[in-house]
């Protein structure tokens, strides 16, 4: 499948605005591992955020709520954690 990745906020400054690659990922876990391989330092950045972690959306849906990936093309949006008050 074709994966289009968009980074936001401080992640955009580190990894660029967007990128595309081909992936045979069938699950969200496989997709995350592929992202960590493709974007050096992303896994470390996620660990730096600690419990809040990265916010990853696949076609606008939170990756934590998906069991599988469907379609020939997906858009992945990656955000740093956000807090407000």
pLDDT digits (tens, 9 = 90+) for 19-69: 999 999 999 999 999 999 999 999 999 999 887 889 999 999 999 999 999
Structurally, at CATH architecture level, domain 2-79 sits in: Roll (3.10)
pTM: 0.90
| Nearest CA among 34, 39, 31, 32 for reference residue 15 | 39
pLDDT of residue 82: 82
Contact 55, 79 (CB under 8 A): yes
pLDDT range class, residue 84, cuts 50, 70, 90: low
pLDDT of residue 51: 78
3-state secondary structure of 31: helix
């Amino acid at each position: 499948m074709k994966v289009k990745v968009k980074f936001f906020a401080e992640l955009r400054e580190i990894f660029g605005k967007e990128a595309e690659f081909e992936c045979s990922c069938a699950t969200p876990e496989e997709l995350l591992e592929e992202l960590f391989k493709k974007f050096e330092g992303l896994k470390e950045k996620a660990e730096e955020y600690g419990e809040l972690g990265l916010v990853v959306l696949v076609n606008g849906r939170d990756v934590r709520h998906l069991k599988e990936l469907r379609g020939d093309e997906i858009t992945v949006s990656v955000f740093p954690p956000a807090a407000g008050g």
